[in-house]
Amino acid sequence: LFFPPGPAAVAPPQPAPTMNCRAEVLEVSVEARQVEEAMLAVLHTVLLHRSTGKFHYKKEGTYSIGTVGTQDVDCDFIDFAYVRVSSEELDRALRKAVREFKDALRNSGSDGMGQISLEFYQKRKSRWPFSDECIPWELWTIKVNVVNLANEQERQICREKVGEKLCEKIINIVEVMNRHEYLPKMPTQSEVDNVFDTSLKDVQPYLYKISYQITDFLGTSVTTTMRRLIKDTLAL
């Protein structure tokens, strides 16, 4: 199978076969230089709610939970501040994904539209030779529209407007979080890696993956167009 050059991240998420996956979509219009900060603000806010302290399992199936610290982040290009989990590893991972997304947006040559997705999933172990299943239970999609501004005055207004928009997004996210809908059951020690990402040393987010798509001007994703081209070529 030929996969077109694209994001280094995982392929776009598949719909869950047996479980309902909660899906939320947020949309933002930002200037190119605001993309990173806006994405980080949203992703960090979601992960703040979807991370716990590190589990320490004790005898008889009980466990204790570590402490999650938080810190304020000021944006440079947006009149906005947000709170993130105090974990450098997590911050690095998010920044890496967002940077790739930003670069892809810039290089795509499209008119600056794309989306980045944060998916929380559970692993279901399958028997050999089948690989483990990834079953998403929550999917956050941020649709991004990059705008070009003509002068400094417009940029200043954009700073404020995007700041206000992000405030609304944070409120939306908190609303969703407050619904207390499906969350994976707290796992036993043997199952913890199927539910949580235990690779970080100071916090423990639910298993997640980040992917993105760049939209070409026809509104279809680039990968879809490429696949179609290849299929057509092969059919000849």
Residues of the shown chain interacting with another protein in the complex, contacts defined by CB under 8 A:
45, 48-49, 52-54, 56, 64-72, 74, 79, 81-83, 85-87, 166-167, 170-171, 173-175, 177-178, 180, 186, 201-203
> Rounded to the nearest whole angstrom, what is the least distance from the CB of residue 180 to another protein in the complex?
6
> Rounded to the nearest whole angstrom, what is the least distance from the CB of residue 140 to another protein in the complex?
14
Give the nearer residue to another protein in terms of CB position, either 27 or 175.
175
Residue partners of 14: CB distance under 8 A and separation at least 6: none
- The H-or-E segment that residue 42 falls in is helix 35-49
What does the DSSP 8-state code read for residue 22? Answer: E
> Rounded to the nearest whole angstrom, what is the least distance from the CB of residue 144 to another protein in the complex?
20
**What is the rounded distance in angstroms from the CA atom of residue 205 to the CA atom of residue 49?**
9
Give the nearer residue to another protein in terms of CB position, either 74 or 111.
74
Give the nearer residue to another protein in terms of CB position, either 93 or 214.
93
> Rounded to the nearest whole angstrom, what is the least distance from the CB of residue 58 to another protein in the complex?
11
Give the nearer residue to another protein in terms of CB position, either 87 or 221.
87
Closest CA relative to residue 213, chosen from 72, 120, 110: 110
**Farthest-apart Cα atoms in the chain, separation:** 65
Question: Is the four-CA dihedral 201, 205, 207, 213 of positive or negative sign?
Answer: negative
